[in-house]
Chain A
Amino acid sequence: MDQHDHTPESTPEVSASRRQLLATGLALGGSMAVSMPLWAQSGPIKIGHLTPMTGFLGALGEYAAQGIKMAADEINASGGVLGRQLEVLTEDSVNPQVAATKAQRMIERDQVAFLMGEISSASALTISQVAARNKKLFMSIGARSDVLRGKDCNRYTFHVDIPVTVMVNAVGQALLRDNMVRGKRIFSLTADYLFGHDLSKVARKFWANNGGTLVGDELVPTDATDFSPYLVKIRQARPDLIASNLAGNQVTNFVKQYAEFGLPYPVVGFNLNTADAWAAGEGNLGGIWPTVWHHELQTPGSKAFVANFIKRFNRVPENHAWIEYVSLRMLAQAINATKSVDTDKIIAYFESEAEFDILKGRKAYFRSWDHQLMQEAYPFTVKPKGTYKEKWDFLKFGEAVPAPNQPLDLLATTKEENTCKM
Chain B
Amino acid sequence: MEFIFLLEQAVNGLVLSGYYLLLALGLSLIFSVGGIVNLAHGAFYAIGAYLSLEVIQVTGFASSIFITPVLVGLLGILFERFLLRRFYNADPILSLLVTFGLAMVAEQALRMIWGAAPLPSNMPPEFKGNVMLGEFMFSKYRLFILGVVIVVLSGIWVLLNKTAFGRVVRAGVQRPDMVAVLGIRLQPYMTAIVVLGVATAALGGVLFGPIAIVHPAMGTEIMTVAFVVVVIGGLGSFWGVVLAALLVGVVRGITIHFQPAAGEASMYILMFIVLLLRPRGLLGERIERFE
Contacts and interface: CB of A to CB of B under 8 A. Distances in A.
Q: Establish whether A and B are touching in the complex (CB under 8 Å).
A: yes
Interface of A: 1-7, 10, 12, 53-56, 58-59, 61-62, 92, 192, 218-221, 223, 225-226, 228-230, 232-233, 235-236, 249, 252-253, 256-257, 259-263, 278-281, 283
B116 A53 contact: yes
Contacts, number: 126
Closest CB pairs A-B (n = 9): A1-B224, A5-B217, A279-B120, A58-B117, A225-B212, A229-B256, A236-B5, A262-B129, A59-B117
A1 B9 contact: no
Nearest to A248: B118
B115 interface: yes
Nearest to A56: B118
Contact of B264 (A2, A7, A220, A281): A2
Contacts of A2: 221, 264
A192 to B, nearest CB: 7
B215 A262 contact: no
B223 A1 contact: yes
Interface stretch (B52-60, B67-75, B136-144, B154-162): B136-144
A349 to B, nearest CB: 35
A261 B130 contact: yes
A80 to B, nearest CB: 30
B221 A253 contact: no
Given A253-B213, A256-B123, A229 B260 contact: yes
Given A2-B221, A5-B217, A235-B137, A249 B5 contact: no
B112 to A, nearest CB: 10
A3 B220 contact: yes
A259 B117 CA distance: 23
Nearest to A259: B128
Majority SS of interface residues in chain B?
Answer: helix
Given A2-B264, A226-B212, 4 more contacts: A1-B225, A5-B217, A54-B117, A92-B116
B221 A232 contact: no
Contacts of A253: 212-213
7 contacts: A3-B221, A54-B217, A56-B118, A58-B116, A59-B117, A221-B261, A236-B5
Contact of A12 (B116, B120, B212, B215): B116
B149 interface: no
A258 to B, nearest CB: 10
B9 A249 contact: no
A62 B139 contact: no
Contacts of B85: none
Given A58-B215, A232-B5, A262-B128, A53 B117 contact: yes
B111 interface: yes
Interface centre among B8, B118, B211 (most CB of A within 10 A): B118
Nearest to B137: A235
